């Protein structure tokens, strides 16, 4: 009787479209809220807590350090434990989101919370992608995986709308983060409905396997897998990895401070920063199917090259046009390009050695996280006392062009994979 009641409360969902939609919700929570809600609320945070641009940059970068650590941890998660570890870190992501409602926290506590949020984002993003894609049939994988990744754009849009709505009602960042956390809670129930159902015999086998594998042996297994994954592909992986570092560096330099730039420049428009951030989210939602269709026609590497050029152009718009045109243009191009660049690059990493695709995706995420960590710090350092972000945007554009050159060399080095 208890089993029947439990099955009614937690039904098992096996429909592929439903799983992809749950994956979308997961990405919206751990990426849209866990990472990008900080961007939407940053102008209010800086005003309410009297934070300097330098501290704001460090709070952003500490989150990306966490993302780097999370990607590193995800590399060691065995396939059979994907759902359990993913669900645990989704819980951490929601808790760290709601913790920012606590009043009068010290700056050190902020750093710790944003670090944990970054770790949760890194782990949950990689493992949820792995889990969702594994549960999709090959013929529906390309369409439904695009639904899953659209969660990033949905989360960015939700963060902008939520912040806008609550600021109009007279609330501030603390209530915004609390509401974001509360609206994330249904995800935990949905994740339970897609929990892999295993027999007791299978579970006992896994327990015995865990008992017999030592930490040292696990390290040796990982080392062997890493060697096998990169063997014969060192140059191609190096070129693609460095270009991905520069891609992370390039986009985050704008993504972190875009609403702050809007508050500086568009002083007559009260919520210009949130409008601009909403533009990023809407274009990010719409972009992935578009670039997926283009990649089928011309290939991932050519699509990625085009996106890199377009993003570099977008970085220059606020430099060339000081008003709304430059900022809204940058926002639209940022939304159009960054999710597509992630999707295309991860596909290229998988193509290099498909047998070790999960490991290579984790390595790629480490590279991207490194670029994201450096971006805000360099941008803040170049902004100076006047908080002028133009120099940071120019450096980001230059970095993207260098990344384009590396992509061209990668294509010549490894035309089959590309």
Residue 185's domain is classified under what CATH number?
1.20.1250.20
Q: Residue 309 is part of which domain span?
A: 233-418
Q: How far apart (Å, rounded) are the C-alpha atoms in residues 141 and 256?
A: 32
Helix (H) or strand (E) holding 320: helix 300-320
State yes or no: pLDDT of 6 exceeds 70.
no
Check whether residue 189 and residue 298 sit in a common domain.
no
Q: Would residue 2 count as lying in a domain?
A: no
**Contact criterion met (CB below 8 Å) for 40 and 159:** yes
Check whether residue 248 and residue 374 sit in a common domain.
yes
Check whether residue 239 and residue 158 sit in a common domain.
no
Distances, alpha carbon 48 to alpha carbons 3, 92, 172, 307, in Å: 50, 25, 8, 37
**What pLDDT band is residue 27 in, cutting at 50, 70 and 90?**
very high
Q: Would residue 4 count as lying in a domain?
A: no
Radius of gyration (C-alpha) of the chain in whole angstroms: 21
Check whether residue 162 and residue 251 sit in a common domain.
no
Helix (H) or strand (E) holding 408: helix 390-413
Check whether residue 344 and residue 266 sit in a common domain.
yes
**What pLDDT band is residue 344 in, cutting at 50, 70 and 90?**
confident
Give the burial class of 219: count Cβ atoms within 10 A of its Cβ; 0-12 exposed, 13-18 middle, 19 or more buried. exposed
State yes or no: pLDDT of 405 exceeds 60.
yes
> Which pTM does this prediction carry?
0.81
Q: What is the mean pLDDT of residues 245-252?
A: 92
Check whether residue 143 and residue 262 sit in a common domain.
no
Q: Would residue 226 count as lying in a domain?
A: no
First-to-last alpha carbon distance for the chain, in angstroms, is 55
Name which of 202, 198, 203, 196 is nearest 12 in CA terms.
Answer: 196
List phi, psi (to 5°) of 282.
Answer: -65, -45
State yes or no: pLDDT of 396 exceeds 80.
yes
Which pLDDT does position 204 carry in this prediction? Answer: 47
Q: Identify the three-state secondary structure at position 78.
A: coil
Q: Would residue 48 count as lying in a domain?
A: yes
State yes or no: pLDDT of 170 exceeds 90.
yes
**Contact criterion met (CB below 8 Å) for 247 and 257:** no
Q: How far apart (Å, rounded) are the C-alpha atoms in residues 269 and 313?
A: 25
Q: How far apart (Å, rounded) are the C-alpha atoms in residues 99 and 108?
A: 14
The pLDDT tens digits for 172-216 are 999 999 999 999 999 999 999 998 876 444 444 554 445 455 566
Q: Would residue 1 count as lying in a domain?
A: no
Q: Would residue 7 count as lying in a domain?
A: no
The pLDDT tens digits for 59-116 are 988 998 898 899 888 877 877 888 999 999 999 999 999 999 988 899 999 999 999 9
Which pLDDT does position 89 carry in this prediction? Answer: 96
Q: How many domains does the chain have?
A: 2
Burial 201-215 (b: 16+ CB within 10 A, else e): eeeeeeeeeeeeeee
Which pLDDT does position 366 carry in this prediction? Answer: 87
| Count of residues in the chain | 418
Give the burial class of 364: count Cβ atoms within 10 A of its Cβ; 0-12 exposed, 13-18 middle, 19 or more buried. buried
Q: Would residue 217 count as lying in a domain?
A: no
Residue that has been written with the tokens 């809670």 in this structure: 185
Q: What is the mean pLDDT of residues 263-267?
A: 86
**Contact criterion met (CB below 8 Å) for 96 and 401:** no
């Amino acid at each position: 009787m208890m089993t029947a009641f439990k099955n009614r409360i937690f039904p098992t969902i096996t429909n592929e479209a439903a799983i992809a939609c749950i994956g979308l919700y997961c990405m919206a929570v751990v990426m849209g809220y866990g990472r990008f809600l900080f961007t939407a609320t940053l102008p209010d945070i800086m005003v309410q807590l009297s934070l300097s641009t330098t501290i704001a940059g460090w709070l952003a970068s500490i989150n990306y350090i966490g993302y780097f650590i999370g990607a590193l941890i995800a590399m060691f998660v065995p396939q059979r434990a994907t759902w359990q570890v993913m669900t645990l870190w989704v819980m951490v992501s929601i808790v760290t989101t709601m913790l920012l409602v606590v009043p009068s926290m010290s700056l050190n506590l902020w750093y710790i919370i944003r670090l944990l949020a970054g770790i949760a984002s890194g782990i949950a993003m990689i493992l949820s992608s792995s889990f969702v894609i594994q549960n999709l049939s090959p013929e529906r994988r390309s369409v439904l995986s695009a639904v899953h990744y659209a969660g990033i754009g949905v989360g960015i849009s939700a963060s902008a709308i939520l912040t806008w709505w609550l600021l109009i009602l007279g609330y501030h960042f603390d209530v915004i983060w609390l509401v974001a956390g509360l609206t994330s809670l249904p995800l935990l129930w949905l994740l339970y409905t897609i929990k892999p159902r295993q027999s007791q015999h299978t579970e006992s086998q896994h327990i015995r396997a865990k008992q017999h594998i030592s930490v040292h042996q696990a390290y040796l297994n990982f080392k062997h897998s890493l060697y096998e994954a990169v063997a014969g592909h060192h140059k191609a992986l190096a070129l693609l990895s460095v270009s991905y570092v520069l891609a992370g560096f390039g986009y985050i330099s704008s993504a972190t401070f875009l609403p702050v730039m809007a508050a500086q420049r568009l002083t007559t428009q009260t919520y210009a920063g949130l409008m601009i951030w909403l533009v990023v989210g809407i274009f990010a939602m719409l972009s992935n199917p578009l670039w997926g269709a283009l990649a089928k026609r011309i290939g991932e590497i050519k699509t990625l090259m085009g996106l890199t050029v377009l993003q570099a152009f977008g970085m220059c718009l606020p430099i060339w046009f000081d008003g709304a045109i430059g900022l809204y243009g940058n926002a639209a191009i940022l939304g159009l390009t960054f999710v597509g660049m992630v999707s295309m690059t991860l596909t290229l990493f998988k193509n290099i050695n498909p047998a070790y695709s999960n490991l290579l995706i984790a390595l790629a995420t480490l590279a991207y996280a490194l670029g994201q960590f450096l971006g805000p710090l360099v941008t803040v350092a170049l902004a100076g006392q006047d908080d002028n972000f133009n120099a940071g945007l120019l450096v980001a554009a230059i970095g993207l062009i260098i990344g384009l050159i590396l992509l061209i060399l990668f294509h010549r080095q490894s035309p089959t994979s590309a």
